[in-house]
Structure 1
Amino acid sequence: MHNIKNILVVVDTRKATHTALKRGKLIAKVTGATLHLLACNKKPDANSQAALDTLVEQVRERGINAEGYEQWHDNVANTVLHLQQSQGCALVIKDAREENELSRAVFAPTDWQLLRRCPCPVLLVKNDRAWENGVILAAIDADASDQDHQILNEVIMSHSHDIAGLANAECHIGAAHPAPMLSSPDPVFQNIESLAKLYRDACTPYITQYKMAEKNLHIGEGPAQSFIPELAERISASLVVMGTVARTGISGAIIGNTAELILDSICCDVLTLKPVDIMEQLEEVVTQR
């Protein structure tokens, strides 16, 4: 996270509140990154350009390097990816707030496109809960038999720890274990206590590596799509950091069913990460378009 040089922030010049930009300024202030403010406007005019210029100037007044862009390339996702590639942005930040009939922040189809296709981490901002002195939740898969997830866990933990540091926040770990199966040939999987211990032991190295308090490790019975959102709400998490991708497909990345359910249920900000090999494949796909 500290090595980020360029951050893309999607802004809506028609709105008065810019929570995604607030997150971008927090990260840029600590990392020294340049903020690239993108207004995805089909028909830019003098008013929209003036509003964008004002936002850029306000960022610069905070001592942060900033540039502004009004662009449109077929749709929002394509527009974001075009600028992300041209400016070498290592993080994309976008407001995910779209009020439905229940007044809950949900992901629009554009957000899902971006999550699937973007070759760098994407931070989707769902509310204005402060990160500073808050709680950053690293949602990991502690199944020790899954090497792919273990590699992704390292990425999740690294980003979570870095963000907690820059926001002076607490880093927590959440992992769901499966329900006990009496028919399992392995006695460990027949008992909820032994399952919880197995998953707790798998997470202990992260507690040691990142010098975290034991109380910040949360292990519970899954499924993860229920446990992680409930945990995030219970500990008042400001941000959940999680992996999203199962594999790549013809049009980009295929988000796993569990990840989709978690993303839709979480009410706080979400930073979505992909395995390095998936990011490299997406980089190739995007640059070929």
Structure 2
Amino acid sequence: MQTIRSLLVVIEPHLMESFALKRAKEIAKASKAHLHLLIGDKEHDHSALLNVLTNSLITEGYSVTSRQAWHDNLHTTIIKEQQIEGCGLVIKQHVDDSILKKILLTPDDWKLLRDCPTPVLLVRTTKPWSNGVVLAAVDVGNGDEDHMALHKTIIDQGFRIASLTHGELHVVSAHPAPTLAVMDAAYPIDTEYEASFRAASKEFQRRFEISDERMHIKEGPADIIIQQVARKLDAVVTVIGTVARTGLSAALIGNTAEIVIDKLESDVLVLKPEDIVKELEQKV
């Protein structure tokens, strides 16, 4: 997080309070990053609001620019502005959509997570990050090269945030129940799958220097397990990866990142593998 020089902060005038701006100020204060404020609206003029916010932030000592823009829809506007300004992180407040709306329409935040080349921080609370728990969600059962690269990105960012905020990094990984379990009441016998998962977990801990106390392995659906562990640890931010599915596969399968953002009480930082980042940059 220290290497990010510019933050794109999505300002939404209809919200009573900008959680995104509060979090951006906290990050910028610690990292000395530049703030670029964006309002996406084609119908109303928000120049007065942007001027007030910009002047106030400059008075407080922040480096700030601002713009109102519109490109077809909100998530496209955010992505185009991020590319124009070269911002290394998009910060946006997340407001839960109704179940009916999510059934009928793909939420804007889901579209942003799928299509934005840069990391996206969805802010859900104004609780300070300082001295808090940073939770990194990974899938230690997938040890192929692509997943390990994504895991490294998630853990590296988690460590950076923990260092920046004087917090503590914890890691969570969920594994599904094995299809066939051989269990004896007196002499429990792990299945081959469970043994393999435990071995992969130990190797993950060794590679990334994660102690047993900070490694949380649970059986169950990833979205449920991540939510449970985040609540138990009172995490201030959860770092998660996404494969950025689009089209029919996204509609049928969904992404854990998309499913979990409405369930978590913490902020959510969503990262992507490098190959997907390059692919999305080419599309933009």
| Alignment TM-score, normalising by the size of structure 1 | 0.84
Partner deviation per Cα, 1:8-66 (whole Å, 9 max, x = no partner): 00012344421111111122222222110001122233xx3222111112222232201
1:138 is paired with a residue whose SS is: strand
Q: 1:32 to 1:176 in 2, by over 3 A?
A: same
AA matched with 2:202 = D
In 2, the alpha carbon distance for the partners of 1:78 and 1:236 equals 33
AA matched with 1:244 = T
Cross-structure match for 2:102: none
Instruction: After TM superposition, give the deviation of residue 90 of structure 1 in Å.
Output: 1.0
After superposing on structure 2, the runs of 4+ consecutive aligned residues of structure 1 that deviate more than 6 Å are 252-255
In 2, the alpha carbon distance for the partners of 1:156 and 1:254 equals 25
- Aligned pairs for 1:10-29 (under 5 A) are 10-29=10-29
In 1, the alpha carbon distance for the partners of 2:229 and 2:92 equals 24
1:63 is paired with a residue whose SS is: coil
Contact 1:245 1:253 in 2 (8 A): no
- Identity over aligned residues, as a percent? 40
2:262 is paired with a residue whose SS is: helix
In 1, the alpha carbon distance for the partners of 2:245 and 2:107 equals 19
Q: 1:146 to 1:123 in 2, by over 3 A?
A: same
| Structure 1 residue 148 corresponds to structure 2 residue 146 | yes
In 1, the alpha carbon distance for the partners of 2:67 and 2:251 equals 27
1:163 is paired with a residue whose SS is: helix
Aligned residues: 273
In 1, the alpha carbon distance for the partners of 2:84 and 2:77 equals 11
Instruction: After TM superposition, give the deviation of residue 199 of structure 1 in Å.
Output: 4.2
Instruction: After TM superposition, give the deviation of residue 275 of structure 1 in Å.
Output: 0.2
Task: Between 257-266 and 167-176, report the one with greater CA deviation.
Answer: 257-266
Instruction: After TM superposition, give the deviation of residue 6 of structure 1 in Å.
Output: 1.4
Cross-structure match for 1:65: 63
In 2, the alpha carbon distance for the partners of 1:108 and 1:60 equals 37
AA matched with 1:36 = H
Task: Between 8-17 and 132-141, report the one with greater CA deviation.
Answer: 8-17
1:89 is paired with a residue whose SS is: coil
In 2, the alpha carbon distance for the partners of 1:140 and 1:156 equals 8
Task: Between 260-269 and 69-78, report the one with greater CA deviation.
Answer: 260-269
Partner deviation per Cα, 1:70-94 (whole Å, 9 max, x = no partner): 1112211111112111101111000
In 2, the alpha carbon distance for the partners of 1:123 and 1:63 equals 23
- Aligned pairs for 1:1-289 (under 5 A) are 1-45=1-45, 48-98=46-96, 100=98, 109-182=107-180, 189-190=191-192, 192=194, 194=195, 197-208=198-209, 213-245=211-243, 256-286=254-284
1:270 is paired with a residue whose SS is: strand
2:206 is paired with a residue whose SS is: helix
Q: 1:213 to 1:202 in 2, by over 3 A?
A: closer
Partner deviation per Cα, 1:84-122 (whole Å, 9 max, x = no partner): 111011110000124759xxxxx9711111111101000
> What value does the CA root-mean-square deviation take over the aligned residues?
2.9
Structure 1: give runs of 5+ residues left out of the alignment. Answer: 102-106
In 1, the alpha carbon distance for the partners of 2:200 and 2:125 equals 31
Task: Between 32-41 and 48-57, report the one with greater CA deviation.
Answer: 48-57
In 1, the alpha carbon distance for the partners of 2:201 and 2:242 equals 22
Structure 2: give runs of 5+ residues left out of the alignment. Answer: 100-104, 183-188
Instruction: After TM superposition, give the deviation of residue 238 of structure 1 in Å.
Output: 1.1
Instruction: After TM superposition, give the deviation of residue 5 of structure 1 in Å.
Output: 1.4
2:118 is paired with a residue whose SS is: coil
Contact 1:207 1:213 in 2 (8 A): no
In 1, the alpha carbon distance for the partners of 2:222 and 2:177 equals 11
1:124 is paired with a residue whose SS is: strand
In 1, the alpha carbon distance for the partners of 2:110 and 2:207 equals 30
In 1, the alpha carbon distance for the partners of 2:238 and 2:132 equals 12
